[in-house]
Amino acid sequence: MIAGALDQFGRRIEYLRISITDRCNFRCAYCMPLAGLPWLPREDILSYEEITEVVRQLAPLGVSRLRITGGEPTIRPQLTTLISMLEKVSGIQDIALSTNGVKLPEMAESLKAAGLDRVNMSADSLRPDRIREIARRSLAFSPIDAALAAERAGLGPVKINTVVMRGINDDELEDFARLTLEHPWHVRFIELMPVGEMAGETFDRVVPSDEILARLARIAPLSADAGPARGNGPAAYYRFAGAPGSIGVITPMSHTYCGDCNRVRLTADGRLRTCLYGDEEVSFRDALRAGEPLAPLYASALATKPREHALLQMKVGGLRALSEVGG
């Protein structure tokens, strides 16, 4: 295996998150404005061939793990074609998908056949009426059915990501945690981050991970756990005794995990971002379309990757919505 390239702080960068669309069939307040955003022109969005070429050039530089994101990636046509193309790139060891799960029951089998390894599914409620309220879309959708479809297709370990919002869905913490007593799923609770329409009220809505874990420990004692065998993210994991699944917490607000950051992001229009909440980015699309190699641009980008984000100072790198960069 080729070791990942190092950034200016000696962190090994092995993980590329690839946004393939800025569009979504949800309008979650913490991710996208209700009215949406001006959509990227079709000609600005990287083709599947261009995305694959980015990966082909970065793989020899140590990128070995990919995550396909959006917006909502399953709404871009022929997603299985892209996964098949990426799966053939030498050096790529793992391809994951982040999705809201709406289309998983119909797509899970074909995604697995194309070469997808696993899924992370966003689910901010288990209640149909509240799902509609948070997503601000009326869609017939069951997170449990979506996770079961992914499990049956072999897209494991299945991870369920829940953004915890005080006064909105924090009364479901225990319901989500109990899923790990019944299924080999990894339920991860994410602290709310200040972007979009909820940015101004974020600090009132944040439920710190320490509070989350204290509440869940009332169900049964929790012990530290290694978590799923495969994963690239910053979650700390715990488990109820005898549970087939685990509980994770992701803590951008209360306990920064930037010191172990191993990732960079490619936006749907081909900009490489070295920090989700930073301003540093470079256009891979322009270089690709000019026939220029990406390696020098990549090295320059890693040399300016910041030590940490500045969320606690309410600096969000000019982002209007997480949907712009795939979270």
Confidence (pLDDT) at 89: 98
Confidence (pLDDT) at 110: 98
Confidence (pLDDT) at 232: 58
Confidence (pLDDT) at 1: 41
CA angle, 202 as apex, 198 and 207 as ends, to 5°?
Answer: 130
Task: Say if CB 26 and CB 101 are below 8 A apart.
Answer: no
- Rounded Cα distance, 293 and 71, in Å: 28
Residue ranges making up the domain that contains 20: 5-324
With b for 16 or more beta-carbon neighbours within 10 A and e for fewer, the 182-212 pattern comes to ebebbbbbbbbbbbbbbbeebeebbbbbeeb
Coil, strand or helix: which one is 36?
Answer: coil
This prediction's pTM: 0.90
Confidence (pLDDT) at 272: 96
Confidence (pLDDT) at 202: 61
- Rounded Cα distance, 45 and 31, in Å: 20
Which runs of consecutive H residues, i.e. helices, occur in 96-207?
104-114, 128-135, 143-153, 173-182, 202-205
Coil, strand or helix: which one is 51?
Answer: helix
SS3 of 235-248: the string is: CEEEEECCCCCEEE
Instruction: Give the number of residues written for the chain.
Output: 327
| CATH code where residue 29 lies | 3.20.20.70
CA angle, 27 as apex, 21 and 31 as ends, to 5°?
Answer: 70
Q: What is the mean pLDDT of each run of 10 residues along the chain (327 residues)?
A: 76 95 84 73 96 98 96 96 98 97 97 98 94 85 96 97 95 98 97 66 82 97 87 83 96 68 93 84 96 96 82 52 58
Pairing type for strands 94-99 and 118-122 reads: parallel
For 172, residues 6+ apart whose C-beta sits below 8 A from its C-beta are: 125, 126, 127, 130, 162
Task: Say if CB 248 and CB 189 are below 8 A apart.
Answer: yes
Q: Which two tokens stand for residue 302?
A: 């890693």
Q: Which two tokens stand for residue 147?
A: 């996770």
- Rounded Cα distance, 230 and 152, in Å: 18
Confidence (pLDDT) at 205: 87
Confidence (pLDDT) at 139: 80
CA angle, 206 as apex, 25 and 123 as ends, to 5°?
Answer: 30
Coil, strand or helix: which one is 155?
Answer: coil
- Rounded Cα distance, 125 and 134, in Å: 8
- Rounded Cα distance, 198 and 190, in Å: 15
Neighbours of 155 (CB within 10 A): 23
The total number of structural domains that make up the chain: 1
Q: Which two tokens stand for residue 193?
A: 């981050």
Work out the widest C-alpha separation in the chain, in whole angstroms: 59
Cis peptide before 71 (omega within 30 of 0): yes
